[in-house]
Amino acid sequence: MTSVLINAFKRLNLSIRPQVKVISSSYSTAVTTANSLNVTQKEWKYPPLYTKPREVWIENLDTVEEKKLGLFELHPSVYAAMPRIDIIHRNFVWQTKYRWVSWAHTKTRAEVRGGGRKPWPQKGLGRARHGSIRSPLWRGGGVAHGPRSGKTHFFMLPFHLRIHGLTSMLSAKLAQDDLHVVNNLELPTDESNYLADLIENRNWGPSVLIIDDTDIAPRNITVATDSLPHVNIMPVYGLNVYSMLKHDTLVLTLAAAERIEERILHHLNAITTEQQREFKLSQV
């Protein structure tokens, strides 16, 4: 990709040469020279083996017009994995079911009023034998195997399915050009119209999910998103498949992108026997 950009700049013969910085994991910078574009390589703990890192532009939020502040490398194992639609679906079903409690309730034969005596003698009348008029065989009787209130549908998805669900969604967002990286979340004003104009000008949305590395967001963007129900801010530890599916555009800060990459790479390469153990309700 770098060589293609260099050849394109040479063919244009422009007198003005843009200054492009590349941000690495250690936040060191590299500036273009007269004839070449310098790209600072990131030093990952688990470097990619067979695929090249993906590069995205670092954008700004302090102006409505988009500015390219530099290039940022993304690990292909996290942001360029093969999207598995089946794993995404399993994560979606898991997230919609683990918080669902069914309150449907039916009474058993012991809870229905009446039916204390035997309706007729066991023998002698030629009729079928019955012991109570509240048997499930009778109209108005109890229900056998019916729903009982307070039934939880909680279950725990296997650990690596949750990890690959995140990589599949991040990769799909990047491939669809719906993943953007910004330097920070500082806005010049707390007016919601400014943020709405910025989203419209950059073709984000209509729904936008903003991820930061901390749960304490700057005041201006917090106030600006209060009156925009389709724009939400989430800390990096709350990132999930359901929220990424719900929002059209995913916006990450530099720190959040680094943190997501670091945690997922650790779980993809480390020994995760403890996390893969069968989940038990007693450990909650």
Mean pLDDT (10-residue bins), the chain, 284 residues: 61 47 46 46 82 91 91 93 96 93 94 92 93 94 94 91 96 96 93 94 93 93 94 95 96 94 92 78 62
Say yes or no: domain 21-86+156-273 is CATH 3.90.550.10: no
Question: In the chain, where does the domain assigned CATH 3.40.1370.10 lie?
Answer: 21-86+156-273
State residue 173's pLDDT score: 96
E-strand ranges in 42-165 read: 54-59, 70-74, 101-102, 151-152
Q: Nearest Cα to 164, choosing from 98, 235, 236, 241? A: 241
Identity of residue 130: H
Q: Angle, to 10 degrees, between the axis of helix 159-175 and the axis of helix 254-269? A: 140
**This prediction's pTM:** 0.77
Q: Angle, to 10 degrees, between the axis of helix 219-226 and the axis of helix 192-201? A: 90
How far from chain centre, in Å, is Cα 27? 26
Residues 6+ apart with CB under 8 A from 90: 157, 161, 165
